[in-house]
Amino acid sequence: MDSLTQIVLGAAVGEAVAGRQLGNRAMLYGAIAGTIPDLDVAASFFTDTVTSLEVHRGFSHSILFSILFAPIFGWLFSLFEKHASWKKLSWLFFWGFLTHPLLDAHTTWGTQLFWPFDLRIAYKNIFVIDPLYTIPFILFLIMAMRQKRGSQKRRKLNNLGLIISSSYLVVTLILKGVTYTQFQKALEEQGIDYVEMQTKPGAFNSIMWTANVKTKEAYLIGHYSFFDTKPIEFESYSKNHALIGELIEHPKMQRMIKISQNWFTISQEDDKLYFNDLRFGLMSLEPDADKFVFSYEIQQEDDRIHFIERKKNPEDGKKLIGELWTRIKGN
């Protein structure tokens, strides 16, 4: 999830664990704990693109990280915090660290919760930024913050924020199941044979959902809103894997394919080849759109290859928001 949401979650968890002893400082320490796992993005400054993508939401988002580093941070903060024990602070950081990847596991990218085992958990039931999850959570946290430390009302408000936000996650899981059935039905009615299908919510909402459908020769992308009145339409995108030829066997290419979980297309523009990660969709909802959210130029140098992420155009983002608002209201 986005940084603000993780800060809010961490703060609420900090309050739940040590609010009676520390008051608002528990929220502050929880917010710090909820931020620390995302510091793995610093890897992008020291490694190549592929390694950085492998590291992201890896060790720092694992149960092992929470177990190993919670006592260390608990000890560090106990050096100047006299109103809570090392044990209490260690528990605060443990739950602050752990709830971060537990929430991230609901997004499309997912987390390597069981690192070092090669298993990425991704339920794909909430977008990385969802106001319906975050805004109520913030409001309850602010109201709790304004109450007297240790008061029953403060604890109740904080718990309500945690309960309502968690309940929303459960609702999105139910919505995912409903929309999956709708996509499945549409594919059957249109006589489309497919190998695999994955669904995820559209950006910033849980009303409009997207399906990525894998067939033998191509990928299909379809959208469904709960306000739709017309059949679901699917747009086809050729895999074009043949464009990279023998490069498909290159170790770094294989690593990139593994990162994409084999959901990728290859495109060619001006004699340049691009690796497009299909899981995160397109920068437009228009038919025949060809700008993927995550696209990487493939650069070859002797026996080495490099992946350079294509820069995003802010105007495309603004346009997408407008298209989303229109599409949410139905087809």
Domain co-membership, 138 together with 234: no
Question: b vs e for 267-293, b when ≥16 Cβ sit within 10 Å of the residue's Cβ?
Answer: beeeeebbbbbbbbbbbebeeebebbb
Lowest average pLDDT, out of 143-147, 288-292, 297-301, 322-326, goes to: 288-292
Structure tokens given for 183: 């996509």
Domain boundary among 172, 202, 230: 172
Domain co-membership, 200 together with 118: no
Mean pLDDT of 152-167: 97
Domain co-membership, 232 together with 287: yes
Mean pLDDT of 77-102: 97
Q: What pLDDT sits at residue 153?
A: 97
pLDDT at 178 exceeding the cut of 90: yes
Domain co-membership, 231 together with 283: yes
Q: What pLDDT sits at residue 290?
A: 77
Greater confidence (43 vs 259) lies with 259
**Residue 33, helix vs strand vs coil:** helix
Q: What pLDDT sits at residue 45?
A: 87
Domain co-membership, 238 together with 120: no
Q: Please give the mean pLDDT across all residues of the chain.
A: 95
Residue 185 domain flag: no
User: Which structural domain range is residue 321 located in?
Assistant: 190-331
Mean pLDDT of 97-124: 96
What is the rounded distance in angstroms from the CA atom of residue 200 to the CA atom of residue 208? 9
Domain co-membership, 205 together with 315: yes
Question: pLDDT, tens digit, for every residue of 244-279?
Answer: 999 999 999 999 999 999 999 999 998 899 999 999
Domain co-membership, 149 together with 196: no
Residue 38 domain flag: yes
Domain co-membership, 90 together with 227: no
331 closest CA partner among 229, 234, 235: 229
Mean pLDDT of 207-232: 96
Q: Which residues, in sequence order, are CB contacts of 224 under 8 Å at separation 6+?
A: 179, 182, 183, 186, 208, 209, 210, 211, 232
pLDDT band of residue 317 (cuts 50, 70, 90) is confident
Structure tokens given for 245: 């030829």
Mean pLDDT of 103-118: 95
Mean pLDDT of 218-228: 96
Residue 183 domain flag: no
pLDDT at 211 exceeding the cut of 90: yes
Helical spans, DSSP H, in the chain: 3-22, 24-35, 49-55, 63-78, 86-104, 131-145, 152-189, 251-259, 314-328
pLDDT band of residue 315 (cuts 50, 70, 90) is confident
Q: What pLDDT sits at residue 92?
A: 98
pLDDT band of residue 318 (cuts 50, 70, 90) is confident
Domains in the chain, number: 2
Residue 102 domain flag: yes
Domain co-membership, 208 together with 80: no
Scan for tokens 């996650």, then name that residue.
169
Domain co-membership, 133 together with 265: no
pLDDT at 74 exceeding the cut of 80: yes
Domain co-membership, 204 together with 161: no
Q: What pLDDT sits at residue 124?
A: 97
Task: Say what percent of the chain tops pLDDT 70.
Answer: 100
Domain boundary among 143, 172, 201: 172
Residue 182 domain flag: no
Q: What pLDDT sits at residue 302?
A: 85
Domain co-membership, 34 together with 125: yes
Question: pLDDT, tens digit, for every residue of 47-65?
Answer: 999 999 999 999 999 999 9
22 closest CA partner among 32, 311, 71: 32
Residue 181 domain flag: no
Residue 184 domain flag: no
Residue 328 domain flag: yes
Q: State residue 256 phi and psi, 5-degree precision.
A: -65, -40
Domain boundary among 137, 172, 207: 172
Neighbour-count burial of 159, counting CB atoms closer than 10 A to its CB (0-12 exposed, 13-18 middle, 19+ buried): middle
pLDDT at 199 exceeding the cut of 80: yes
